[in-house]
Amino acid sequence: MWPGYLNLACAEIINNERAATYVQPYGVTINCDRCAGLPEVLGHDPYTSPVADDAPWYDPVRGASADFLGAFSSSIDGLSASPAARDPLPLVRDGSSIGPLRREHREIPVTVRLFALSECGLSYGLEWLSRSLSGDPCGGNCTGAEMTLFACCPGSGTDTGYDGAELRYLYDVGLLQGLTVSERIYWGEVVEAVVSFTLVAGNPWIYGQALPTGDDWVALSQGTETRADPDQVYQRCLPPTPCATDDQCPRPPLPPRPPRPVSPCYPKGVGDFLVTRIRVASEDYPLWSELVPVVEIEPGSADMRRLLVRFWSNPQNEDCAQELDPCDACGDLNVTYLPANSLLTMDGRVSRSSIECETEGVGIAVSAPNAFGPQGGLFTYPYFPCPGGLCVEVWARADTVADDARARITLIPRSDVM
């Protein structure tokens, strides 16, 4: 991977091109791990000085901030090693049960070179870096932040803008071990400090840019009117009868299974719905990446009830408007109620869902939705490990779908190494 850029919680931490440009007029030339196209990709003008560019650390109240020249890195580790592991359990006979494959948290050691024109500037740079890595103290949560970097030196923007092919994202990232200064070096007017720190990503996956899925937002009021029970699809998918069953020696019947408890808030039964289907063809899938969905629903000007988002495997790229195989249904999100003018986000990258509502005078209120999985069971965030087509259904009770209700389904590729 290319270590020349790192952004944590929307704060630029490392920018090799910026730091190398700022130190060059003072007789320090850095030619390694640079990327001439980086400023253009980031939407920046050519770099000249911390003051003229309003560098991320520049503070007009602190004069020493103008003497700090930035952070340069040639080492961001922990991303080229997969955190996947198993814990095999020995069997009584030979061998072991290998157990499930799981991924632990990811530790990311980073080494940077800080440059400044004075000891005061370097002291300020250390203070700024430590504060930037500590996250937002006003956030009040333990989930961490988003980290952005590049898999390789990004190409220049095109006429239609940079497509983000080299961008990579990690989530639930925070500081594990604070700054340690291991060395100070003096280059004429420039003082350099070699600094190390360690980040930790609670979410071990590395995510790429969203894939194209056709239309950006899809109007839900244009869906097909349907009278049905959405849960009936699971009763229509019956398991095959085992072929080795001996009708002359039937197995004893199993004791009756107690009924599964279902929340009284989960709506059941036949109803009138508007159903919208979104098709994602298999040619839009990368061959060697898993995909996770990000679902966004805006109910518009009316409260929405009995919302269901269902994913279907569609390996033959069939028309999603046709009758779908009930055994190809591969996950539901059921939300009982969405208030008007809100935004529901089900983010498969971080396995969290939220409803955002604008409130008068105090900004945006965020709460967790009342979400269920198939047939009122536990909701689990779906992922799609194999390349193939996909159909996404959005159901909502017809009398609660406003004319301006809409949905957006985004698919994000992920990997555990880069």
pLDDT tens column, 47-94: 999 999 999 999 999 999 999 999 999 899 999 999 999 999 999 999
What pLDDT does 155 receive? 76
At residue 284 the predicted structure's pLDDT band, cuts being 50, 70 and 90, is low
Query: Minimum mean pLDDT among 38-42, 172-176, 235-239: which range?
Result: 235-239
Among 185-189, 286-290, 316-320, top mean pLDDT goes to 185-189
What pLDDT does 259 receive? 83
Mean pLDDT of the chain: 90
pLDDT(342) > 50: yes
Half-sphere exposure in the Cβ direction for 125 (13 Å, CA): 29
Among 156-165, 176-185, 249-258, 369-378, top mean pLDDT goes to 176-185
Q: Mark 315-332 as b/e (b = at least 16 C-beta within 10 Å).
A: eeebebeeebeeebbebb
User: CB-based contacts of 151: which residues, under 8 Å, 6+ apart?
Assistant: 1, 2, 166, 167, 168, 418
At residue 139 the predicted structure's pLDDT band, cuts being 50, 70 and 90, is low
Tell me the average pLDDT across 364-381: 90
At residue 157 the predicted structure's pLDDT band, cuts being 50, 70 and 90, is very low
Domains located in the chain, CATH noted:
2-87+97-207 (2.40.30.200), 218-236+266-415 (no CATH)
Report the 3 state secondary structure along the chain: CEEEEEEECCEEEEEHHHHHHHHHHHCCCCCCCCCCCHHHHHCCCCCCCHHHHCCCCCCCCCHHHHHEEEEEEEEECCCCCCCEECCCEECCCCCEECCCCEECCEEEEEEEEEEECCHHHHHHHHHHHHHHHCCCCCCCCCCCEEEEEECCCCCCCCCCCCCCCCEEEEEEEEEEEEEEEEEEEEECCEEEEEEEEEEEECCCCEECCCECCCCCCEECCCCEEEEECCCHHHHHCCCCCCCCCCCCCCCCCCCCCCCCCCCCCCCCCCEEEEEEEEEECHHHCCCCCEEEEEEEEECCCCCEEEEEEEEEEECCCCCCCCCCCHHHEEEEEEEEEECCCEEEEEECCCCEEEEEEEECCCEEEEECCCEECHHHCCCCCCCECCCCEEEEEEEEEHHHCCCCCEEEEEEEEEECCC
User: CB-based contacts of 183: which residues, under 8 Å, 6+ apart?
Assistant: 193, 194
- Of 104, 99, 100, nearest to 81 by C-alpha is 104
Tell me the average pLDDT across 103-114: 97
pLDDT(141) > 70: no
pTM for the complete prediction?
Answer: 0.90
Separation between Cα atoms, residue 282 and residue 155, nearest integer Å: 27
What pLDDT does 87 receive? 94
pLDDT(312) > 80: yes
pLDDT(232) > 80: yes
At residue 161 the predicted structure's pLDDT band, cuts being 50, 70 and 90, is low
- Of 74, 75, 77, 67, nearest to 30 by C-alpha is 74
Amino acid identity for residue 132 in this structure: S
